[in-house]
Amino acid sequence: MQAAFIAEQAAQCGYCSNGMVMSAVALLRAVPHPSEALVRRALAGNLCRCGTYPRVLRAVLRAAGSGR
Ligand code: FES
């Protein structure tokens, strides 16, 4: 997951990154190949003041092997 975040440049200031990564890892443990909608729902509790949501979404899908 960390490699996917780096590849997609999904962290800016990094304030939200720990929560995003933890939520994403928990999701992939429960659902190895989630849909985009499911990823959005799983990460909804993490607020990013830098607006990295599209890059975080791509990173999680990349880590799941279903990246676009
Ligand atoms: S990267 Fe700055 S709050 Fe998310």
Each residue's pLDDT tens digit in the chain (68 positions)? 999 999 999 999 999 999 999 999 999 999 999 999 999 999 999 999 999 999 999 999 999 996 44
Cβ atoms 42, 16 nearer than 8 A: no
Sign of the torsion formed by the C-alpha atoms of 36, 65, 34 and 16: negative
- State in Å: Cα 47 to ligand 1 middle: 8
Q: 51 burial class (0-12, 13-18, 19+ CB within 10 angstroms)? A: exposed
47 lines ligand 1 (CB under 6 A): no
- State in Å: Cα 29 to ligand 1 middle: 24
Which strand (E) or helix (H) includes residue 56? helix 53-63
pLDDT of residue 66: 62
**CATH class, 2-63 region:** mainly alpha
41 lines ligand 1 (CB under 6 A): no
